[in-house]
Structure 1
Amino acid sequence: MESPEGKTIQSYPHLIAAVLFCIIAGSVGSLVTITGPGSWYADLAKPFFTPPGWVFGPVWITLFTLMGIALYLVWQSGTEKPEVKKAIALFCVQFVFNIAWSFLFFGLRSPLLGLIDILILWFLIAATIAAFYRVNRTAAYLLVPYIAWVTLATALNGAIYLMNP
Protein backbone atom coordinates (compact mmCIF):
# COMPACT_ATOMS: atom_id res chain seq x y z
CA MET A 1 0.00 0.00 0.00
CA GLU A 2 1.32 3.43 -0.92
CA SER A 3 0.84 6.55 1.17
CA PRO A 4 0.17 9.90 -0.52
CA GLU A 5 3.88 10.70 -0.27
CA GLY A 6 4.73 7.55 -2.24
CA LYS A 7 6.28 5.70 0.68
CA THR A 8 5.28 2.16 1.47
CA ILE A 9 3.24 2.17 4.66
CA GLN A 10 4.65 -1.23 5.65
CA SER A 11 8.13 0.33 5.82
CA TYR A 12 7.28 2.53 8.81
CA PRO A 13 7.59 -0.38 11.27
CA HIS A 14 11.09 -0.98 9.87
CA LEU A 15 11.98 2.66 10.46
CA ILE A 16 10.69 2.50 14.02
CA ALA A 17 12.53 -0.80 14.60
CA ALA A 18 15.83 0.62 13.30
CA VAL A 19 15.55 3.75 15.46
CA LEU A 20 14.53 1.78 18.56
CA PHE A 21 17.35 -0.71 17.96
CA CYS A 22 19.91 2.11 17.95
CA ILE A 23 18.46 3.86 21.00
CA ILE A 24 18.14 0.65 23.04
CA ALA A 25 21.49 -0.82 21.97
CA GLY A 26 23.19 2.53 22.46
CA SER A 27 21.72 2.80 25.93
CA VAL A 28 23.41 -0.45 26.98
CA GLY A 29 26.69 1.42 27.34
CA SER A 30 25.04 3.92 29.64
CA LEU A 31 24.21 1.15 32.13
CA VAL A 32 27.75 1.56 33.46
CA THR A 33 27.02 5.18 34.28
CA ILE A 34 23.36 4.81 35.33
CA THR A 35 24.15 5.87 38.88
CA GLY A 36 26.47 8.56 37.61
CA PRO A 37 30.14 8.22 36.81
CA GLY A 38 30.90 8.68 40.49
CA SER A 39 33.73 10.43 42.22
CA TRP A 40 36.36 8.76 40.01
CA TYR A 41 35.26 10.77 36.97
CA ALA A 42 34.51 13.89 39.01
CA ASP A 43 38.04 13.81 40.42
CA LEU A 44 39.75 13.55 37.02
CA ALA A 45 41.43 16.61 35.55
CA LYS A 46 39.49 17.57 32.43
CA PRO A 47 40.20 19.94 29.54
CA PHE A 48 38.50 23.31 29.19
CA PHE A 49 36.32 22.03 26.32
CA THR A 50 34.55 19.39 28.42
CA PRO A 51 30.80 19.78 27.81
CA PRO A 52 28.52 20.01 30.85
CA GLY A 53 27.18 16.63 31.95
CA TRP A 54 23.57 17.40 31.02
CA VAL A 55 24.53 17.70 27.32
CA PHE A 56 25.44 14.05 26.84
CA GLY A 57 21.97 12.51 27.17
CA PRO A 58 20.18 14.70 24.61
CA VAL A 59 23.13 14.53 22.20
CA TRP A 60 23.27 10.73 22.30
CA ILE A 61 19.50 10.31 21.91
CA THR A 62 19.66 12.59 18.87
CA LEU A 63 22.66 10.74 17.43
CA PHE A 64 21.10 7.31 18.02
CA THR A 65 17.92 8.50 16.29
CA LEU A 66 19.90 9.76 13.28
CA MET A 67 21.86 6.49 13.24
CA GLY A 68 18.60 4.52 13.25
CA ILE A 69 17.21 6.53 10.34
CA ALA A 70 20.48 6.04 8.43
CA LEU A 71 20.42 2.30 9.14
CA TYR A 72 16.81 2.13 7.92
CA LEU A 73 17.66 3.92 4.66
CA VAL A 74 20.46 1.47 3.94
CA TRP A 75 18.37 -1.53 5.02
CA GLN A 76 15.56 -0.42 2.68
CA SER A 77 18.02 -0.47 -0.22
CA GLY A 78 17.88 -4.28 -0.21
CA THR A 79 19.67 -6.58 2.20
CA GLU A 80 20.35 -9.04 -0.63
CA LYS A 81 22.87 -6.61 -2.17
CA PRO A 82 26.53 -7.18 -1.17
CA GLU A 83 27.20 -3.45 -0.64
CA VAL A 84 24.20 -3.24 1.71
CA LYS A 85 25.35 -6.30 3.66
CA LYS A 86 28.83 -4.78 4.01
CA ALA A 87 27.43 -1.41 5.11
CA ILE A 88 25.17 -3.00 7.73
CA ALA A 89 28.01 -5.23 8.97
CA LEU A 90 30.30 -2.21 9.40
CA PHE A 91 27.51 -0.36 11.18
CA CYS A 92 27.10 -3.25 13.63
CA VAL A 93 30.85 -3.53 14.28
CA GLN A 94 31.21 0.19 14.98
CA PHE A 95 28.20 -0.01 17.28
CA VAL A 96 29.92 -2.71 19.35
CA PHE A 97 32.91 -0.39 19.78
CA ASN A 98 30.55 2.46 20.68
CA ILE A 99 28.93 0.38 23.42
CA ALA A 100 32.28 -0.96 24.64
CA TRP A 101 33.68 2.52 25.22
CA SER A 102 31.56 3.17 28.33
CA PHE A 103 32.55 -0.16 29.84
CA LEU A 104 36.24 0.47 29.18
CA PHE A 105 36.38 4.13 30.19
CA PHE A 106 33.91 4.18 33.10
CA GLY A 107 33.49 0.51 34.04
CA LEU A 108 37.20 -0.29 34.08
CA ARG A 109 38.11 3.32 34.85
CA SER A 110 40.65 3.23 32.07
CA PRO A 111 41.07 6.34 29.93
CA LEU A 112 43.78 4.45 28.02
CA LEU A 113 41.52 1.55 27.01
CA GLY A 114 38.76 4.04 26.28
CA LEU A 115 41.13 6.00 24.04
CA ILE A 116 42.20 2.88 22.14
CA ASP A 117 38.55 1.92 21.66
CA ILE A 118 37.40 5.36 20.55
CA LEU A 119 40.24 5.70 18.03
CA ILE A 120 39.19 2.40 16.46
CA LEU A 121 35.55 3.54 16.67
CA TRP A 122 36.35 6.76 14.80
CA PHE A 123 37.88 4.85 11.87
CA LEU A 124 34.99 2.38 11.86
CA ILE A 125 32.49 5.26 11.72
CA ALA A 126 34.42 6.78 8.80
CA ALA A 127 34.35 3.40 7.02
CA THR A 128 30.63 3.08 7.76
CA ILE A 129 29.96 6.54 6.33
CA ALA A 130 31.86 5.58 3.16
CA ALA A 131 29.95 2.28 2.90
CA PHE A 132 26.61 4.02 3.50
CA TYR A 133 27.50 6.65 0.88
CA ARG A 134 27.83 3.92 -1.74
CA VAL A 135 24.31 2.71 -0.87
CA ASN A 136 22.40 5.87 0.11
CA ARG A 137 23.98 9.32 0.32
CA THR A 138 21.37 10.66 2.74
CA ALA A 139 22.18 7.81 5.13
CA ALA A 140 25.86 8.75 5.00
CA TYR A 141 25.12 12.42 5.66
CA LEU A 142 23.00 11.48 8.68
CA LEU A 143 26.13 9.98 10.28
CA VAL A 144 28.19 13.19 9.96
CA PRO A 145 26.98 14.60 13.32
CA TYR A 146 27.91 11.25 14.90
CA ILE A 147 31.51 11.34 13.68
CA ALA A 148 31.72 15.02 14.64
CA TRP A 149 30.63 14.21 18.21
CA VAL A 150 32.98 11.22 18.39
CA THR A 151 35.80 13.48 17.18
CA LEU A 152 35.13 15.76 20.14
CA ALA A 153 34.82 12.74 22.45
CA THR A 154 38.14 11.39 21.14
CA ALA A 155 39.87 14.69 21.88
CA LEU A 156 38.25 14.76 25.31
CA ASN A 157 39.26 11.16 26.06
CA GLY A 158 42.82 11.82 24.86
CA ALA A 159 43.12 14.97 26.96
CA ILE A 160 41.82 13.17 30.05
CA TYR A 161 44.35 10.40 29.49
CA LEU A 162 47.21 12.90 29.17
CA MET A 163 46.06 15.05 32.10
CA ASN A 164 45.71 12.09 34.49
CA PRO A 165 48.95 10.08 34.37
Structure 2
Amino acid sequence: MASRGLLELLTGPASMNAAGLIGSAAVVFGVQRLVPSFDPSWYKALKKPSWTPPNYVFPMVWIPLKIMQSVALWLVCTKAPSASALAVPVAAMGVHMFLGNWWNVVFFGRRKLKESLPWMYTFWASIAVTAATFHPISAAAAYLMLPTQVWVTIAAKLNYDIVKINS
Protein backbone atom coordinates (compact mmCIF):
# COMPACT_ATOMS: atom_id res chain seq x y z
CA MET A 1 0.00 0.00 0.00
CA ALA A 2 2.78 2.44 0.91
CA SER A 3 4.64 1.77 -2.35
CA ARG A 4 1.43 2.25 -4.34
CA GLY A 5 0.94 5.66 -2.68
CA LEU A 6 4.49 6.63 -3.55
CA LEU A 7 4.01 5.49 -7.15
CA GLU A 8 0.85 7.60 -7.45
CA LEU A 9 2.69 10.57 -5.96
CA LEU A 10 5.50 10.21 -8.50
CA THR A 11 3.28 9.65 -11.53
CA GLY A 12 -0.09 11.22 -10.72
CA PRO A 13 -1.45 14.77 -10.78
CA ALA A 14 0.53 15.72 -7.66
CA SER A 15 3.79 14.98 -9.50
CA MET A 16 2.70 17.28 -12.32
CA ASN A 17 2.10 20.00 -9.74
CA ALA A 18 5.49 19.37 -8.18
CA ALA A 19 7.16 19.32 -11.59
CA GLY A 20 5.40 22.56 -12.50
CA LEU A 21 6.52 24.23 -9.31
CA ILE A 22 10.09 23.04 -9.84
CA GLY A 23 9.91 24.25 -13.44
CA SER A 24 8.65 27.66 -12.35
CA ALA A 25 11.45 27.94 -9.81
CA ALA A 26 13.98 26.90 -12.45
CA VAL A 27 12.76 29.70 -14.71
CA VAL A 28 12.69 32.39 -12.00
CA PHE A 29 16.04 31.46 -10.47
CA GLY A 30 17.60 30.45 -13.80
CA VAL A 31 16.94 33.76 -15.52
CA GLN A 32 18.85 35.47 -12.73
CA ARG A 33 21.87 33.32 -13.60
CA LEU A 34 21.97 34.90 -17.07
CA VAL A 35 23.38 38.06 -15.51
CA PRO A 36 27.17 37.88 -15.30
CA SER A 37 28.89 38.26 -11.96
CA PHE A 38 30.32 41.66 -11.23
CA ASP A 39 33.21 42.88 -9.13
CA PRO A 40 31.69 43.67 -5.71
CA SER A 41 34.53 46.02 -4.75
CA TRP A 42 33.09 48.77 -6.96
CA TYR A 43 29.76 48.76 -5.10
CA LYS A 44 31.53 48.65 -1.72
CA ALA A 45 33.52 51.75 -2.68
CA LEU A 46 30.42 53.80 -3.54
CA LYS A 47 29.14 56.36 -1.08
CA LYS A 48 25.82 55.10 0.26
CA PRO A 49 23.13 56.53 2.52
CA SER A 50 23.32 55.66 6.21
CA TRP A 51 20.17 53.55 5.96
CA THR A 52 21.69 51.16 3.35
CA PRO A 53 21.07 47.55 4.38
CA PRO A 54 24.20 45.46 5.01
CA ASN A 55 25.29 43.43 1.97
CA TYR A 56 24.24 40.12 3.55
CA VAL A 57 20.61 41.31 3.66
CA PHE A 58 20.22 41.33 -0.12
CA PRO A 59 20.36 37.54 -0.70
CA MET A 60 18.39 36.99 2.51
CA VAL A 61 15.61 39.05 0.95
CA TRP A 62 15.90 38.06 -2.69
CA ILE A 63 15.86 34.29 -2.17
CA PRO A 64 12.44 34.25 -0.44
CA LEU A 65 11.15 36.78 -3.00
CA LYS A 66 12.26 34.54 -5.86
CA ILE A 67 10.54 31.59 -4.17
CA MET A 68 7.32 33.62 -3.89
CA GLN A 69 7.62 34.66 -7.55
CA SER A 70 8.11 30.99 -8.50
CA VAL A 71 4.98 29.98 -6.62
CA ALA A 72 3.07 32.88 -8.18
CA LEU A 73 4.09 31.83 -11.69
CA TRP A 74 3.21 28.23 -10.92
CA LEU A 75 -0.21 29.23 -9.58
CA VAL A 76 -0.96 31.22 -12.72
CA CYS A 77 0.21 28.38 -14.96
CA THR A 78 -1.87 25.79 -13.11
CA LYS A 79 -5.02 27.89 -12.68
CA ALA A 80 -5.24 29.53 -16.10
CA PRO A 81 -8.42 28.43 -17.88
CA SER A 82 -6.51 27.98 -21.17
CA ALA A 83 -3.08 28.25 -22.69
CA SER A 84 -4.09 31.46 -24.44
CA ALA A 85 -5.02 32.99 -21.06
CA LEU A 86 -1.37 32.62 -20.08
CA ALA A 87 0.05 34.78 -22.89
CA VAL A 88 -0.18 38.18 -21.21
CA PRO A 89 0.66 37.11 -17.62
CA VAL A 90 3.65 35.03 -18.70
CA ALA A 91 4.85 37.83 -20.99
CA ALA A 92 4.50 40.31 -18.11
CA MET A 93 6.53 38.00 -15.87
CA GLY A 94 9.16 37.67 -18.58
CA VAL A 95 9.40 41.46 -18.94
CA HIS A 96 9.64 41.80 -15.15
CA MET A 97 12.50 39.29 -14.99
CA PHE A 98 14.28 40.88 -17.95
CA LEU A 99 14.06 44.37 -16.45
CA GLY A 100 15.35 43.20 -13.06
CA ASN A 101 18.32 41.61 -14.75
CA TRP A 102 18.89 44.56 -17.07
CA TRP A 103 18.97 46.94 -14.13
CA ASN A 104 21.78 44.79 -12.66
CA VAL A 105 23.70 45.02 -15.93
CA VAL A 106 23.32 48.81 -16.15
CA PHE A 107 24.01 49.53 -12.47
CA PHE A 108 26.64 46.94 -11.57
CA GLY A 109 27.99 45.88 -14.96
CA ARG A 110 28.17 49.19 -16.78
CA ARG A 111 28.39 51.22 -13.57
CA LYS A 112 25.94 53.77 -14.96
CA LEU A 113 24.30 55.05 -11.80
CA LYS A 114 22.11 57.78 -13.25
CA GLU A 115 21.21 55.71 -16.31
CA SER A 116 20.07 52.87 -14.05
CA LEU A 117 17.26 54.95 -12.52
CA PRO A 118 14.80 54.74 -15.46
CA TRP A 119 15.43 51.01 -15.64
CA MET A 120 14.74 50.67 -11.93
CA TYR A 121 11.49 52.62 -12.23
CA THR A 122 10.43 50.53 -15.23
CA PHE A 123 11.32 47.37 -13.32
CA TRP A 124 9.15 48.60 -10.42
CA ALA A 125 6.23 49.23 -12.80
CA SER A 126 6.65 45.81 -14.40
CA ILE A 127 6.08 44.13 -11.03
CA ALA A 128 2.79 45.99 -10.64
CA VAL A 129 1.77 45.00 -14.17
CA THR A 130 2.70 41.38 -13.51
CA ALA A 131 0.62 41.32 -10.32
CA ALA A 132 -2.29 42.94 -12.17
CA THR A 133 -2.18 40.35 -14.96
CA PHE A 134 -1.90 37.51 -12.43
CA HIS A 135 -4.88 38.67 -10.36
CA PRO A 136 -7.73 37.59 -12.69
CA ILE A 137 -6.25 34.08 -12.79
CA SER A 138 -5.09 33.80 -9.18
CA ALA A 139 -5.45 36.46 -6.52
CA ALA A 140 -2.92 34.54 -4.42
CA ALA A 141 -0.37 34.77 -7.24
CA ALA A 142 -0.88 38.52 -7.46
CA TYR A 143 -0.47 38.92 -3.70
CA LEU A 144 2.72 36.85 -3.80
CA MET A 145 4.22 39.53 -6.05
CA LEU A 146 3.56 42.32 -3.54
CA PRO A 147 6.58 41.67 -1.27
CA THR A 148 8.78 42.04 -4.36
CA GLN A 149 7.04 45.36 -5.07
CA VAL A 150 7.83 46.54 -1.54
CA TRP A 151 11.47 45.47 -1.73
CA VAL A 152 11.98 47.05 -5.15
CA THR A 153 10.45 50.26 -3.79
CA ILE A 154 13.19 50.25 -1.15
CA ALA A 155 15.79 49.37 -3.80
CA ALA A 156 14.58 52.22 -6.03
CA LYS A 157 14.96 54.69 -3.17
CA LEU A 158 18.43 53.31 -2.44
CA ASN A 159 19.32 53.57 -6.14
CA TYR A 160 18.09 57.18 -6.20
CA ASP A 161 20.01 58.10 -3.04
CA ILE A 162 23.21 56.47 -4.32
CA VAL A 163 22.91 58.48 -7.54
CA LYS A 164 22.45 61.72 -5.59
CA ILE A 165 25.31 61.06 -3.16
CA ASN A 166 27.73 60.02 -5.93
CA SER A 167 26.88 62.76 -8.47
One fold, TM greater than 0.5?
yes
- TM-score computed with the length of structure 1 as normaliser: 0.88
- Contact 2:80–2:137 at 8 Å: present in 1 too? no
Could you tell me how far 1:9 is from its partner in structure 2? 3.0
Task: Tell me how large the CA RMSD over aligned residues is.
Answer: 2.0
In structure 2, give the amino acid aligned to 1:32: S
Looking at structure 2, the residues matched to 80 and 73 of structure 1 have their Cα atoms a distance apart, in angstroms, of 13
> Mean Cα displacement is larger for which, 78-87 or 127-136?
78-87
Paired positions, count: 159
- Contact 1:67–1:143 at 8 Å: present in 2 too? yes
Match of 1:80, SS state, is coil
- Contact 1:115–1:157 at 8 Å: present in 2 too? yes
Q: What is the aligned counterpart of 2:19 among 5, 10, 13?
A: 13
Looking at structure 2, the residues matched to 136 and 2 of structure 1 have their Cα atoms a distance apart, in angstroms, of 27
Match of 1:151 in 2: 153
Where in structure 2 are the equivalents of 1:51-62 lying within 5 Å? 51-62=53-64
> Mean Cα displacement is larger for which, 56-65 or 68-77?
56-65
Match of 1:8, SS state, is helix
Could you say which structure has the larger radius of gyration?
2
- Contact 1:83–1:134 at 8 Å: present in 2 too? no
Could you tell me how far 1:69 is from its partner in structure 2? 0.6
Match of 1:116 in 2: 118
Looking at structure 2, the residues matched to 96 and 53 of structure 1 have their Cα atoms a distance apart, in angstroms, of 23
In structure 2, give the amino acid aligned to 1:107: G
* Unaligned runs of at least 5 residues, structure 2: 1-6
Could you tell me how far 1:67 is from its partner in structure 2? 0.5
Say if 1:113 and 1:2 are closer, same or farther in 2 by CA, change over 3 A: farther
- Contact 1:26–1:64 at 8 Å: present in 2 too? no
Could you tell me how far 1:79 is from its partner in structure 2? 7.2
Looking at structure 2, the residues matched to 90 and 79 of structure 1 have their Cα atoms a distance apart, in angstroms, of 18
Match of 2:33, SS state, is helix
Could you tell me how far 1:26 is from its partner in structure 2? 1.9
